[in-house]
Amino acid sequence: MHDLAIKNGLCYIEGEFVHANIGIDGNRITYVGKEEIKGELSVNAKERLVLPGLFNAHTHLAMTLFRGFAEDMPLMDWLKTKIWRAERKLTAKDVYWGSMLGIVEMLKTGTTCFSDLYIHMDEVAKACIESGIRAVLCYGMADRGDPERAKEELEIGEEFIRKWNGGRIKAIFGPHAPYTCSLEFLKEVKEKADQLGVGIHIHVSETREEVKEFLQKYRSRPIEKLEEIGFLSPKTVIAHAIWVDEKEMEILAKRKVSVAHNPVSNLKLASGIARIVEMMKFGINICLGTDGAASNNTYNLFEEIKLTSLLQKVHTGRADALHARDVIEMATANGYKAYQIDGGKIEKGKLADLILLRKSFNYIPLYNPLYSIVYSSFGCEVSHTIVDGRLLVEDGQPLTLNEEKIIERAEKIKEKFLDL
Ligand SMILES: [Zn+2]
């Protein structure tokens, strides 16, 4: 008898869809196979597709509160006149409700783990604990060349890690970017991360201008410089990596750094198209993220899945540039791998983070589920979401969250930003 049994689903196992039963005990998958199994709780997955849960590898979760707040503006204008001013008004409680809103959306669209870099992170951690979702969290630090500030930022970052690291929460360091953090500060962050045995999540080479300015200042490209100061390791995840040359790709591959690709945000902010296929040729681990909801505007990872595939096709001029299977791996196993979490696969012994998809009209006729998922999904096909062995969404309904109340609070918080 298992704690939870998922029966008769068409399951994504080692790159193929096969009929199987899945047994879960505690927070791990303990059985995958054709034998009849029983569970204290059992989910009938007949006519459903079963996938490892999706991993959203780059978010600023509480920015849900700013989606639709300021649109169609040039990037710097948008940041300076709108987003940064609004963020100054953001309280810890607002971040809690904004995070809850993001978590409802993620759980309902099949995301079982996300990696967040933002402010008031205690509130994000609380929202994760209460909702049951898994997360990698870090306080977003920037010293802007001020040694006093560097000291304070590192203290906040470290305190957050000591307070929250463990269980479903993996707490790491989040220096914002090489253009908002000094090299001295980045070196200190790396030393501290090594001491504590934790990873680092950072933005690198998102815009052409940022790389140009970096080159002028340091006479070296950002990733070359990060390599020079010993910053890169298999525990580093860099978001974006759009303006990266081949020498830098070689460095990323050598240091086993993972790249979080955010295609919707990159298009919306006109940042560019990351060279994903080329990076894959170097053997770089690519995972997918949405970035913040102000530049996306959703946390529905199925949008990133489809767009990743389409963008690489048009970018390389080859319709076979990426296989649907590669993109599914980016959205699942590669995210778990990037942050060293033992999930992302339907396999005995792995963490039980799984989702069930119904075969809705947009999947019909169903020739190959891989293609339906990558090219036809809206996100609303997700019927069940299981995180850490616990059922969090059943038949599309969140079990641990009060969706109505969260919506009401978010609408109320909106009012304070209306005069900006
Ligand atoms: Zn970002």
Lowest-pLDDT choice from 37-46, 67-76, 156-165, 223-232:
67-76
* Residues with C-beta atoms within 5 A of ion ligand 1: 291
CA angle 396, 53, 297 (to 5 degrees): 70
377, pLDDT greater than 90:
yes
- Quote the ligand 1 centre to 362 CA distance (angstroms): 31
Q: How confident is the model at residue 356 (pLDDT cuts 50, 70, 90)?
A: very high
- Quote the ligand 1 centre to 204 CA distance (angstroms): 10
Q: Residues 59-86: what's their mean pLDDT?
A: 92
- Quote the ligand 1 centre to 142 CA distance (angstroms): 13
76, pLDDT greater than 90:
no
CATH architecture observed for domain 2-52+350-397: Roll (2.30)
- Quote the ligand 1 centre to 306 CA distance (angstroms): 20
Number of Cβ within a 10 Å radius of residue 411? 10
- Quote the ligand 1 centre to 408 CA distance (angstroms): 27
- At 333, list the tokens: 């196993």
CA angle 329, 330, 336 (to 5 degrees): 90
Q: Looking at residue 74, what is its pLDDT? A: 84
- Quote the ligand 1 centre to 203 CA distance (angstroms): 6
- Quote the ligand 1 centre to 238 CA distance (angstroms): 10
105, pLDDT greater than 90:
yes
- Quote the ligand 1 centre to 44 CA distance (angstroms): 38
- Quote the ligand 1 centre to 85 CA distance (angstroms): 17
Domain residue spans in the chain? 2-52+350-397, 54-338
- pLDDT 10s digits, 190-206: 999 999 999 999 999 99
- Computed over every residue of the chain, the mean pLDDT equals 97
Q: How confident is the model at residue 79 (pLDDT cuts 50, 70, 90)?
A: confident
Q: How confident is the model at residue 67 (pLDDT cuts 50, 70, 90)?
A: very high
Q: Residues 383-392: what's their mean pLDDT?
A: 98
Within 147-207, where are the H helices?
A: 147-164, 183-196
pTM: 0.98
149, pLDDT greater than 90:
yes
Q: Looking at residue 128, what is its pLDDT? A: 98
- pLDDT 10s digits, 152-170: 999 999 999 999 999 999 9
Q: Looking at residue 144, what is its pLDDT? A: 95
- Quote the ligand 1 centre to 60 CA distance (angstroms): 6
Superfamily of domain 54-338: Metal-dependent hydrolases (3.20.20.140)
- Quote the ligand 1 centre to 31 CA distance (angstroms): 38
Q: How confident is the model at residue 118 (pLDDT cuts 50, 70, 90)?
A: very high
- Quote the ligand 1 centre to 230 CA distance (angstroms): 23
Q: What is the largest CA-CA distance in the chain?
A: 65
- Quote the ligand 1 centre to 20 CA distance (angstroms): 38
Number of Cβ within a 10 Å radius of residue 182? 18
Q: Residues 89-107: what's their mean pLDDT?
A: 98
Percent of the chain with pLDDT over 70: 100
Contact 161, 172 (CB under 8 A): yes
- Quote the ligand 1 centre to 324 CA distance (angstroms): 25
Q: Residues 215-240: what's their mean pLDDT?
A: 98
- pLDDT 10s digits, 259-278: 999 999 999 999 999 999 99
Q: How confident is the model at residue 77 (pLDDT cuts 50, 70, 90)?
A: confident
- Quote the ligand 1 centre to 95 CA distance (angstroms): 16
d(CA 19, CA 361): 21
Contact 125, 164 (CB under 8 A): yes
117, pLDDT greater than 90:
yes
- Quote the ligand 1 centre to 420 CA distance (angstroms): 22
SS3 at position 292: coil
- Quote the ligand 1 centre to 101 CA distance (angstroms): 18
Instruction: Identify which of 302, 289, 298 has the alpha carbon closest to the alpha carbon of residue 101.
Output: 298
